[in-house]
Amino acid sequence: MKNSTVRLIKSDCREKSIPQQIMAHFTANKMELNLIKVYDPTLLSSSKVYQINGTLSRYLGDEGSIQHPQYVFLPLPNQKKKASFRLNRNKLMTRCYEVEGMVYEKPMVQDNSQQLQLF
């Protein structure tokens, strides 16, 4: 199957309540995301970013049995959803999109950090 590309533009659904000056600035800075539908769960990667139900998430791994696999995702920082969640294969095929061009990089740990001692 060929991956289809979906173009999504984030916009505020309350545009009518925003003053004209702010609205002009907002429309000039709309963020555009290129989304690629996930058709094959074997192509999921923990370094890629996925959009599921409007939440940007990263893939943690799979659980469950071979007949009933569960795919575990963790929302990225600063997302409204905080807890990890699981998708079965059917929900993964219908709700999961890979965000093209976005890569998750693990936070770097500083080698020269100091440990504080409590007395």
pLDDT exceeds 50 at position 20:
no
Q: What digits encode the pLDDT tens for the residues 40-67?
A: 999 999 999 999 999 999 999 999 899 9
**Domain spanning 5-10+23-103, CATH architecture:** Roll (2.30)
**What's the CA gap between 110 and 119, in Å, rounded?**
25
Q: What digits encode the pLDDT tens for the residues 56-114?
A: 999 999 998 999 999 999 999 989 999 999 999 999 999 999 999 888 887 776 666 56
Measure Cα distances from 40 to 2, 30, 43, 48 in Å. 11, 30, 6, 14
Report the range of poorest mean pLDDT among 12-16, 20-24, 85-89: 20-24
pLDDT exceeds 90 at position 28:
no
53 vs 23, residue with greater confidence? 53
Answer for the pair 69, 41: CB distance below 8 angstroms, yes or no: yes
Its pTM stands at: 0.64
If residue 20 lies in a helix (H) or strand (E), which one and from where to where? helix 20-28
pLDDT at residue number 106: 75
- Burial of 68 by CB count in 10 Å (0-12 exposed, 13-18 middle, 19+ buried)? exposed
